[in-house]
Structure 1
Amino acid sequence: MSNSNPSLVYSFASSSSLELPVSVKINTLEGLHEPLRHSTLLRQPELRYRGSNQSPHSELYVTAQLWADSKPLTVAVQTPYKVFKHARRWDEWLTLPIDYSTIPLSAQLAITVWDLSPVGSDEWSSHAIPFGGTTIPLYDRDNTLQKGRQRCRLHLDRVADGLSETTTPYQLRQDRRTRANSHGGVITHRYEQDSEMGRLEALVKKHEMNEIPENKWLDHLVFRQIEKLQRSSFKQARNFQSPDSDEKDKGGEKDLFYLYIEFPRFDHPVVFTDHEYPAPPIAGVGSGSLPSHKPPVEVSVGPGIDSGDAGDPAIGRMVRIYDPEVGTRDNPPESKHRRLVRSHRTGLLDRDLRPNAKIRDELNMIMSYGPTQELNAEEKDLVWKFRHHLTRDKRALTKFVKSVSWTDANESKQAVQILPRWTEIDVDDALELLGSTFDNPAVRAYAVDRLRKSDDEDLLVYLLQLVQALKFEPLAQPTEDGSEPQDSSLASFLVSRAANNFVLGNYLHWYLMVECDDRSPEQEQEHRRLFAKVEYEFMTQLMKHPQGQATRKILLRQGELVAVLSKLSKDIRNSREDRIRKVETLKKFLADPKNDMVQIDPPLPLPLDPTVSVVGCYPEDSSVFKSSLLPLYINFKTSDGRQYPILFKTGDDLRQDQLVIQIITLMDRLLQKENLDLKLSPYRILATATVAGAVQFVPSMTLSNVVTRHRSILAYLRANNPDDRAPLGVRPLAMDTYVKSCAGYCVITYILGVGDRHLDNLLLAPTGHFFHADFGYILGRDPKPFAPLMKLPREMVDGMGGAQHQYYQQFLQHCFTAYTTLRKSANLILNLFALMSEANIPDIRIEPDKAVLKIQERFHLELTEEEAIRHFDALIQDSVNAFMPVVIDRLHGLVQNWRA
């Protein structure tokens, strides 16, 4: 385009300089529908209500969306609704929110014509039903921007997909034009007419662009011939009958529709141009000039993306940019400095080194770092130099492992030799060594050896994270003799312990099954294979134990129970009956002896709580809740005569709620170790699949219902726990439970950043137990604006007698004690969230590298204990006096009442 001679006239324009929005004009829709057969209407009665089946000029509207490489580039824009009288003609320009200068060469326009139906369809929930779709590229084969009128073949009853290998092309492909003549030459003749129509319309476009000289009488003949061909084509499309079937998709091309559109015209052809990257500044760089220490980058293309490239079919159209840092692991000056400082010739002298007072203070400062703190080069050298002295400090092992250069063979060998001499580390440090940043097998094996000393009850608390830690185990390489590679030490440890403890094995089995069921793009295929292999090893290990066959049969029966409940939940949720009929269906199903639910023999341990065995259920007590997912309420009968109600629902991923409940259970154990029982009593949650799970039902009432029915929380507590001689007229045990549980959940939900708190997910049991439900937002996320860091509405404070009562002062003391206690175990909690960094948890998946930092920010580890108490006191005061949460709660209540 550019030329050094300014006197030359440009013959084309560059797309990068075209700063105009992409636009397209929707002109007309031409074609005739074949009348619907009676057999078709009998099979699909909803077709009679579609506008296009009632009138040949029914109201339609058109949407257009820009796509590239099988991904949408813009939102869809649409034509206004118009009433047609004699023809479907819009003559409307649509402007898309993107410029020509920014679209790629692969950009194409997905245009869909939408029909209307008052009854909708099974596939489309709204009243808009696709009439047909077409996909047209913006650039032709010569990389020139298309212009002028275009005739686009419409694929009926389909939405334009916009994929690179589109199934809705605007022109028929060559293979379909030349298919065998199977019906007396009619098909061949129609395609010949199609080809002639395309040739004539191309000439018309040239005529409109003044590329063909005007000749009035000859132009008139050509236009009449075009109209004649159009009528003939549509007439044959209507009269043609398939010899094979009366179905539309088997009868060739019965209903032939074309959408006529128009692109803007420019004075010169617009050629696609892209940004050109300059040559690498390093001379002599070519393919393979630098030795690569890393495996080649794996490039995976999405469905429908055109990856055809003669040079590399796996990559396709990709711009390769040279990066001089690729293939290098270390900075050469830093590596030389490290070798000089850590000279292995002085390794024997390091054994007798002792730090002086100044260095001891520096080492103590390093030892106080949290798990997210990175060490600089000087700190790493200092830890390495005094490594023998630090073996007596259990806090120093994780810092030492971070200080080792594991790519140095001699240094790595020395580090592995010193590990057995280290004093026994805590569990939180062992969990840190199983994270994604530690891939040395010896280090991970050392951490697993430390976990072997934990009892099954402690191991059960960390089991969810240990299953996720399997993703960070180094992949086993095949041995030289061709034998099977050994399993990771963590997998073998989990399988061995789970095979010896039924409760541990129950939860390991279901955690693994959910990971195997996760087929989302975030779950890599190799991880699914890994979890499936561990599950297979677990089942194999069970068969080696005396009770293994019985345990395996129990797990299979649990799977059958979950499958039955999942199908029942889906059927009830998808049925169009009202809620009363849904409840009757549920009760009838549970009461039917053929379904083995009213009586379960032999007793079956519940997957949700394997310490409880159920022998049946109470069909008359079952129900269907009113929420959007319609969870099933089923009251099970336990082997000891008690009742165990659960909620089972499908369509919702419960893994995030499961994680929060597990962390609350852990925090409750940490507090009780310090003799602080805050009556948390967290209920149980178990995800049985990625979109299904069970929740323990705790009889309780939401605070909104408490305030509505009893006017205050205090009145509710008095009604359920009356005591005229006690302060506030409430039995002391119930009030103590209420005050402590409020304090515990205020601290824990603040640390976890639980959001979307309102009076409908704060619950209160008659015994005084207060607890939270619905953990759809954590780590500081909240759908409501101006949400407080802690949810402490004035209704909860009034339930303690007000801000001046002694119960409120006890509440504050419990909050301060709980917060300072949990701060001492911050490393353990942070390491548990670090192990979940690659779990498919919604709020962790958004920013997996910042999840741990968001929790650490709530602990405020940089503050002293006294400063932390003052900080938490200020949080409580801000939450009690906040005005916006009151407004939001009122609005939420109005919305809920309106929905009801």
Structure 2
Amino acid sequence: MEEYSFANSSALDFPVNVRISRDSLEGPYQPPPFSTLLQRPDLRHIGSNTSPTSDLYVTIQLWADSKPLTVPVQTAYKSFKKARKWDEWLELPISISTIPQNSQLAITVWDISPTGGPGAKGHAIPFGGTTISLFDNDNTLQKGRQKCRLYRHKAADGFSSTTTPAIPPPRRVRNSDGASNGHVTSPEEDELDRLEKLFKKHEMGEIHRVDWLDALVFKAVAKQRQQVEAAAKVSSRARKRVPASKTNAANKDEATASKSEDQGTEEDSEEDEDKYTLLIDFPRFDFPIVFTDHEYAPPPISSLAHNSPQPGNVNLKPPPEVQLGPGINGTGNGIGDDDENAPPLIRIYDPEVGAKDNPAESKHRRLVRSHRTGVLDRDLKPNAKIRDELNTIMSYGPTQELNAEEKDLVWKFRHHLTRDKRALTKFVKSVAWNDASEARQAVQLLPKWTEIDVDDALELLGPTFDNPAVRAYAVDRLRESDDDELLLYLLQLVQALKFEKIPAEPQDGSTQDSSLARFLITRATNNLMLGNFLHWYLMVECDDRSPDQIKEHRKLFAKVEFDFMTELMQIPEGPERRKTLLRQGELITVLSKISKEIRFSREDRPRKQQRLKKYLADPKNELMAFDPPLPLPLDPSVSIVGCYPEDSIVFKSSLYPLLIHFKTLDGKKYPIIFKTGDDLRQDQLVIQVIALMDRLLRKENLDLKLTPYRILATSSNAGAVQFIPSMSLAAASAKYKGSILAYLRANNPDTSADLGVRASTMDTYVKSCAGYCVITYLLGVGDRHLDNLLLAPDGHFFHADFGYILGRDPKPFAPQMKLCKEMVEGMGSSTSPHYAAFKSYCFTAYTTLRKSSNLILNLFSLMVDANIPDIKVEPQHVVEKVRERFHLEMSEEEAMRHFEGLIVDSVGSIFPVVIDTIHNMMQGLRA
């Protein structure tokens, strides 16, 4: 969870609450003199005139813009004996998230009067009123105790310019010459105000409490407050004796102004003699609540669109833009550049922008693409200038949008472009699919196009292409791929099912309308490996019940799984294969149960390990022997017949992963790591991309000795990982006194070879270092330290733990590529020929993978809706994050220089060394 220091009021779905505090009414009790009661018999029956603890009640009401927002809420009846103690919370029927910024609480204390009086409501008259704003001057919601000035004999009003403010404005008086004498506050009163604010912070826990010192301070402040109040009374009586005529004689021209000032002074003097305050409490929150307006969602535009996107699709159209006409100053407040008094420019949101076509643009397109000349378009040939423009358009990557002129140009020469396989995706983007005639022509032209590459076919299956004919054409191209190649794209093709037009509730419950779903089911039925992984990919998506996986998608994957099982039963060996998948599910269920019990057991690791061995050997779990042999879900090409309980290990980690050795059909051991509590889909994606890049490099005769070990997520919080016997660079460096070269020399000695290491081992080490440096840079793998950089005894170097990708890294100042001094030391040094060979392999691998950038970018575009942590952070920028690391705008020579700079920066960076040192210290403390 990201740290934050404040919250928005619009997100606070909590009613407005106010507490009338205990001993909340403060003020001097001065009963009217007997002479006054003789003259005013009606005052004899007012409760506050007969007893200092008469029964009063309080009402509160929320106002804004001089209008009430709620009905009044009042305190319950209480019979006071020794003091007026309400201590009651009042809840208003309105949420904080919906109140405006200028909200005010009108609080009135009511007195009992059977005879009525000014402002009376039934048998109650105002004892006093006050009005307090809910938000302070910094637009922050008020919290904690508030001291409000109570205006005697007045009901609180919630007007914008209220006459009963909780904090009255500073008083002013005039001298004998009529001039304003400024504030009538003494330094002592200012000091008391400052102390009141500190008391509030102390009460809310913002100032540390020291009981003995606090008691002394409270006593001193109480004494000072009594002195200030006594001085204020003397000053008030002195001001009352000043004749008002003296002020009027000073300046008759200011008679009206001075009259109002004098009236204010007289009122203040009266109030000083009968001054009451009301203490209230607002709820306290852990963080400041800052006012924010409620943002209403824009009107839905999907209902106006001609082709509504499927659930979960990204926005197919750009957000609406404000169009400014000529002579309108878009940056100012008015119309025209010179007219300062012009009315303000009002921008109105048009929900049809981005959904419906602009009539002028539609008319222009119809004129440019007149269907009356469609026959003549077949013979159009571009001249040299236009041919260059078309070649530029064809070189665009899959993420680049075409403007209107480029779309018209592609449409005009569409027949000429049918012989260019790169042009199909650009042509599909140029078609106005809401135009029935134009869409019909485009569909008729698809079969005439030359065969496209697989990367273009994958792009046509992405979220931005929803025409069934286009998607069916892309599937036809995938039919030509062999099963091994299709397996490399299977993870993305399963995600592409989200973009298919499959009815939410088909009558027959099948997926016959989806060409992609039928293709995957058919190929998976005929191939054991494809069927195994399609089954588990679908089961993981069905199991994902997080908020990011919508219900419709779970239903979709369940339909595909059901159709796959139905299709499987139609072939001769289908029932046996289905039974095998069920047995795999039972194996995973048992392993998950064992893993959870060991993880949550409150035992030390040795006892957990003994418990694991006991579980594996227990005949009830049926893990000692499998009859018939069971294809391993992680690698169906390997059949297992049992396990070795005595070789099992519980790793030292917060999730306590299990290392289990299975016995294969040929008598060998196949170790896997099984763990629960972790979503392995992100690691699974990275390993799949590494395997694809390995295949792309091998096609160019460049074998970089990569180790794409297998990972299979079996649910949204469990999975299995192939265990490769290896040692982390941290452990190897510690064991061999900081020398990776010594580790290689100890496991592969050759006194006749350079550096004393077998030549094949050094070649493997150098190539694998180069391969993983390039691949982890392209994928933006983060959180690299010496514990997740692994080295096998035969020299294979590889990475593990891909919890951070796409440029995310929990450590500050992390380099874009991980090339530590330990890796370079294993090659001999930065001056050895092996290091020069390493750099050469890096350059070759980087330039080779840049040629296949479209394929890799299209694979990531199909994963935008996948529930993978580092993708769902910013799904709209995923493809762009990968694309910017390819630097397609550079030439091949510039790209090589750029990558050389990365190598130099990574080797010379000091921050990774410091971070690795701190990491090793923390690991040592945990050990």
Q: How does the TM-score come out when normalised to structure 1?
A: 0.69
**Is 1:532 aligned with 2:562?**
no
Q: Return the alpha-carbon distance in structure 2 between the equivalents of residues 814 and 668 of structure 1.
A: 13
- CA 1:664–1:287: 2 relative to 1, 3 Å: closer
- CA 1:520–1:276: 2 relative to 1, 3 Å: closer
User: Contact 2:755/2:828 (CA < 8 Å) preserved in 1?
Assistant: yes
Q: How does the TM-score come out when normalised to structure 2?
A: 0.67
**Is 1:358 aligned with 2:385?**
yes
1:492 is matched with 518
Match of 1:143 among 70, 83, 87: 70
Shift of residue 810, structure 1, vs aligned partner? 0.5
SS of the counterpart of 2:825?
A: helix
1:211 is matched with 110
User: Contact 1:144/1:270 (CA < 8 Å) preserved in 2?
Assistant: no
User: Contact 1:145/1:270 (CA < 8 Å) preserved in 2?
Assistant: no
Match of 1:702 among 721, 728, 731: 728
Q: Return the alpha-carbon distance in structure 2 between the equivalents of residues 790 and 287 of structure 1.
A: 44
Query: Which protein shows a greater Rg?
Result: 2
Q: Return the alpha-carbon distance in structure 2 between the equivalents of residues 110 and 563 of structure 1.
A: 53
Q: Return the alpha-carbon distance in structure 2 between the equivalents of residues 817 and 437 of structure 1.
A: 33
**Is 1:769 aligned with 2:796?**
yes
Shift of residue 262, structure 1, vs aligned partner? 6.4
Letter in 2 for 1:671: L
2:532 is matched with 506
CA root-mean-square deviation: 3.6
Comparing 264-273 with 688-697, greater Cα deviation is found at: 264-273
Q: Return the alpha-carbon distance in structure 2 between the equivalents of residues 705 and 381 of structure 1.
A: 62
Letter in 2 for 1:472: F
**Is 1:881 aligned with 2:908?**
yes
Shift of residue 474, structure 1, vs aligned partner? 1.7
Q: Return the alpha-carbon distance in structure 2 between the equivalents of residues 756 and 546 of structure 1.
A: 49
**Is 1:868 aligned with 2:881?**
no
1:382 is matched with 409
Structure 2 unaligned spans of 5+: 20-59, 76-85, 98-104, 115-143, 151-155, 161-290, 313-346
Match of 2:785 among 742, 754, 758: 758
Letter in 2 for 1:475: I
Superposed, 1:218-367 pairs within 5 Å as 265=148, 268=156, 323-326=349-352, 328-367=355-394
Shift of residue 298, structure 1, vs aligned partner? 11
SS of the counterpart of 1:832?
A: helix
2:286 is matched with none
Match of 1:649 among 675, 682, 703: 675
2:775 is matched with 748
Letter in 2 for 1:537: D
User: Contact 2:680/2:719 (CA < 8 Å) preserved in 1?
Assistant: yes
Letter in 2 for 1:211: W
**Is 1:792 aligned with 2:819?**
yes
Shift of residue 593, structure 1, vs aligned partner? 2.3
Superposed, 1:387-536 pairs within 5 Å as 387-476=414-503, 486-536=512-562
Letter in 2 for 1:532: A
1:593 is matched with 619
1:682 is matched with 708
- CA 1:108–1:453: 2 relative to 1, 3 Å: farther
User: Contact 2:310/2:499 (CA < 8 Å) preserved in 1?
Assistant: no
Q: Return the alpha-carbon distance in structure 2 between the equivalents of residues 893 and 376 of structure 1.
A: 53
Q: Return the alpha-carbon distance in structure 2 between the equivalents of residues 343 and 651 of structure 1.
A: 60
Q: Return the alpha-carbon distance in structure 2 between the equivalents of residues 474 and 556 of structure 1.
A: 30
Percent of pairs identical after alignment?
Answer: 65
**Is 1:843 aligned with 2:770?**
no
Letter in 2 for 1:853: E
- CA 1:262–1:833: 2 relative to 1, 3 Å: same
- CA 1:785–1:270: 2 relative to 1, 3 Å: farther
Q: Return the alpha-carbon distance in structure 1 between the equivalents of residues 869 and 309 of structure 2.
A: 30
Shift of residue 601, structure 1, vs aligned partner? 1.4
CA shift digits 1:341-364 (9 cap, x unpaired): 000000000000111111111111
User: Contact 2:62/2:158 (CA < 8 Å) preserved in 1?
Assistant: no
SS of the counterpart of 2:900?
A: helix
Shift of residue 478, structure 1, vs aligned partner? 8.2
Match of 1:691 among 717, 722, 728: 717
Q: Return the alpha-carbon distance in structure 2 between the equivalents of residues 894 and 110 of structure 1.
A: 51
Match of 1:635 among 646, 661, 667: 661
Q: Return the alpha-carbon distance in structure 1 between the equivalents of residues 626 and 509 of structure 2.
A: 46
- CA 1:813–1:276: 2 relative to 1, 3 Å: closer
Q: Return the alpha-carbon distance in structure 2 between the equivalents of residues 530 and 881 of structure 1.
A: 51
User: Contact 2:495/2:866 (CA < 8 Å) preserved in 1?
Assistant: yes
Match of 2:633 among 607, 627, 632: 607
Q: Return the alpha-carbon distance in structure 2 between the equivalents of residues 774 and 658 of structure 1.
A: 10
1:256 is matched with none
Q: Return the alpha-carbon distance in structure 2 between the equivalents of residues 412 and 391 of structure 1.
A: 16
1:4 is matched with none
Match of 1:672 among 695, 698, 720: 698
1:730 is matched with 757
Shift of residue 329, structure 1, vs aligned partner? 1.4
1:45 is matched with none
Letter in 1 for 2:815: P
Shift of residue 599, structure 1, vs aligned partner? 1.4
Letter in 1 for 2:635: D
Q: Return the alpha-carbon distance in structure 2 between the equivalents of residues 292 and 504 of structure 1.
A: 38
**Is 1:852 aligned with 2:875?**
no
Q: Return the alpha-carbon distance in structure 1 between the equivalents of residues 349 and 825 of structure 2.
A: 64
1:545 is matched with 571
- CA 1:736–1:652: 2 relative to 1, 3 Å: same
Letter in 2 for 1:396: A
Q: Return the alpha-carbon distance in structure 2 between the equivalents of residues 210 and 690 of structure 1.
A: 59
Q: Return the alpha-carbon distance in structure 2 between the equivalents of residues 700 and 523 of structure 1.
A: 37
Match of 2:919 among 874, 887, 892: 892
User: Contact 1:515/1:528 (CA < 8 Å) preserved in 2?
Assistant: yes
Q: Return the alpha-carbon distance in structure 2 between the equivalents of residues 277 and 840 of structure 1.
A: 27
Shift of residue 150, structure 1, vs aligned partner? 5.2
Match of 1:571 among 575, 592, 597: 597
- CA 1:287–1:693: 2 relative to 1, 3 Å: closer
Q: Return the alpha-carbon distance in structure 1 between the equivalents of residues 294 and 914 of structure 2.
A: 55
Q: Return the alpha-carbon distance in structure 2 between the equivalents of residues 721 and 659 of structure 1.
A: 33
User: Contact 1:583/1:623 (CA < 8 Å) preserved in 2?
Assistant: yes
Q: Return the alpha-carbon distance in structure 2 between the equivalents of residues 459 and 297 of structure 1.
A: 25
User: Contact 1:721/1:730 (CA < 8 Å) preserved in 2?
Assistant: yes
Shift of residue 332, structure 1, vs aligned partner? 1.2
Match of 1:714 among 741, 748, 760: 741
Shift of residue 566, structure 1, vs aligned partner? 0.4
Q: Return the alpha-carbon distance in structure 1 between the equivalents of residues 855 and 469 of structure 2.
A: 22
User: Contact 1:833/1:851 (CA < 8 Å) preserved in 2?
Assistant: yes
User: Contact 1:700/1:764 (CA < 8 Å) preserved in 2?
Assistant: yes
**Is 1:555 aligned with 2:581?**
yes
Kindly tell me the number of residue pairs found equivalent between the two proteins: 662
CA shift digits 1:814-848 (9 cap, x unpaired): 00000000000000000000000000010000000
- CA 1:840–1:211: 2 relative to 1, 3 Å: same
Match of 2:607 among 581, 585, 588: 581
Shift of residue 595, structure 1, vs aligned partner? 1.7
Letter in 2 for 1:623: I
List structure 1 runs of 4+ shifted beyond 4 angstroms. Answer: 72-75, 96-100, 102-111, 137-142, 144-150, 261-278, 290-299, 481-485
Q: Return the alpha-carbon distance in structure 2 between the equivalents of residues 510 and 671 of structure 1.
A: 28
Shift of residue 326, structure 1, vs aligned partner? 3.1
Match of 1:810 among 833, 837, 846: 837
